[in-house]
Structure formats: C-alpha cells, structure tokens
Amino acid sequence: MVLLIVEVEMTKKIRKLLIVAFMMMLSLSISMGEVNPLLKGQPSGWAEADINSLAAYDQLRQEAFNSYQTEITRLDFIYLAVRLYENLNQTDITPDTAISFSDTNNIYALKGATIGITSGIGNGSFGPNQLLTREQMATMMMKVLTLSGIELQKSASLFSDDAQISDYAKDSIYKAAKYGVINGYNGAVNPKGNATTEQVLLVYKNMYDAFSALVHQKFNSTDEMNDYLIENYQTIVLNDVKVGFDSYKCIELSDGGLAINATVEKYGLEDYSKAEGISTIQLAVDAKAQADIFKEVFGREVTFSIVYSYYQSAYPADFVDNYIYDESVYYDRNMEKWAIYFPLICVITDEPYYFTYRSSYYY
C-alpha cells in the first residue's frame, strides 16, 4: 500500500516535470519561431505588405513590430539601425567597454556608439526616450551605409520644403531620396516631423533590399543574378507607381559590363502605362536611379532595360512598317527630351550604360 502511494506520487512528479518541460519547449519555439507582425498593432494599409515581408526576413525581434503609428524613440530606433548594419555586414558588433551613457546601458545604444552611428545627445547622455525627427532618422540610417563602405550619390530633385531641412541633414536626405530609401509626400519630406515606427521599419526594408547584395552578395552565374533580382526587385517604384516585373535577364557583355532586361508582362503593363502617363521625364529619372542601384549591387557597368512583353515574341508587322525612324531623338542629360527609338530605346547622351525600352504601341 505504501509502495503504491509512492508510485502514485512519483507519477505525479514526473507528470509535472513533463508539463514544465513541454511549456519550456513551447516557449522556446515561440521565441525562436517566425515573428508575427500583427501580434501587437496593425500597420497602416500602405505599409502592411512591406512590413509582413520584413517580418519574414527573420532579422528583427518581435518587439520591433509594435505600435506602428507611434512616434519612435531614439532607443527603439538605434536597435533597428544597429540590426541593419549587422545584417548588411553579416557581423555582430562587440560594444566598446570604454563607452557608456549616464541614462542607459542598453546594448544596442552601446553598439551604435561603438561603430559611430551616433554618439548620443551630449554630456554623456543617449536620450533613450527622446523622439526622432525624419531628418535625424535619414542622417543616421545613411551613416549605416557609409560605415558599410557604400558610396552614394545625391538626388538632383529638391523637395518643396527643402528650406526646412537642417544643413547637417541635407546630404543624407537627398542621398536617401536618390535610392528610394525615403520618399516624400506631395513633393515634401517633412524633415522636422517625428518618424513613426512603421516609417522606420519600411526604411530598414528599403535599405536592406537595395544594398544587401552590395555588401556581401556573391554571384557565380547570370542565373543567380536573375533569381536575386526577381526575388528582391519584383516591384520597382516608378513615378510613385509600384510596377511589377515578371522576370529579369542578365547578359554578360564583352566589355565586362552587364545588360539587365526587366520584363513587364500582361498584368504589370497597366501600372507601367500609368507611370509612363504621369511623366515620361520622371519615369526616366527613376529608371536611371534604379540602373545606378544595379550598378552598385553588381559592381559593374550596367545597361538597364525595361521591356514590354505582351506574351508576344515579335513586334507586329504594321508597327515595324509604319515606324518613322527619322523622328528619333536623343534623350539629353538635363532630362528635357524623351527618346523614341526602334526598338524603343531611350538613351542619355554620353552615358551609354543606361537605356530603357519604351512603347506607346499596345498590342
């Protein structure tokens, strides 16, 4: 009888241990599993798809996906800036033990100060709870790229509120704008407005998508390049319209350059036509900026072409016969002329690495 009681008690203990072990394993699997971007808060409609994609990258902690419309603090921001640097460079920053702040011992604040993303707000303080303006965000995020050894050009187009941008931030803002890292709204960038969590998450994603290959990606064949491009650049924003591409084809050129054909097929044609209809000049500017990104990604001279392919391999005979070649014009460097060439090529004078195909003939 005593033996039976002992066995029953032991069984209860084993059961408790198994339950505890199961709960620990469940907790561990949740903490190590995929991030759920909707666990706390709902992104704005314009940000939801990109935030869902970013969560799938599995680069950020669950806490980063929270309070999307809330203005972000310097502490929450520095986590994202540091993780961007670490993921771009595939490294783990070791904090400098000589660095400290009087108002936080957060490891990401220390990591950020160690590599020079920020040195704090002065007097030994980091300002963890201070809010971050959009121009401050742009300055520190572009510093991440500079620290990663990436050289950037500036956009030539000014925002309508350029006079409101602090002098220290102008270089960073126009570099970020050049590569689509930040986008204005109705021609303005709102530099003194506070950045929100979802805005910074999208900047993180834009920067990682645009520059990760430049830092550490290696390609052994044009097939690998094609796969990389369709995975990371399935859509490109042209004239504020998100245009989808169905495929890429990279072709090795005899001079060591690379020809990249981005194909817009049936279902992407409507968006491309919309972008083209808004302004062919701005479309060319945006396509040129994309060509520059690809040039940086692959480290080679790039001929970038956007090609219509309406499930038809050849141009219709009547189109070829009726085309007036003599009216073709060069597209000049100050973006004032649109070239019409057969087979529909746009050229910036003296910059032969950049082309784009264009057609106003739908078939």
327: helix, strand or coil: helix
| Residue (of 121, 171, 165) closest to 141 by Cα position | 171
pTM of the model: 0.54
Instruction: Specify the long-range contacts of residues 216-220, CB closer than 8 Å, at least 24 apart.
Output: 216/88, 216/89, 216/90, 217/297, 219/298
The distance of Cα 199 from the centroid of its chain, to the nearest Å, equals 12
Domain ranges of the chain: 46-211, 220-357
Q: How far apart are CA 273 and CA 183, in angstroms?
A: 21
The model's pLDDT over 196-214, given as tens digits with 9 standing for 90+, comes to 999 999 999 988 988 876 6
The model's pLDDT over 218-274, given as tens digits with 9 standing for 90+, comes to 688 999 999 988 887 888 888 888 888 888 989 888 878 888 888 887 667 788 878
pLDDT-based confidence at 28, cuts 50/70/90?
very low
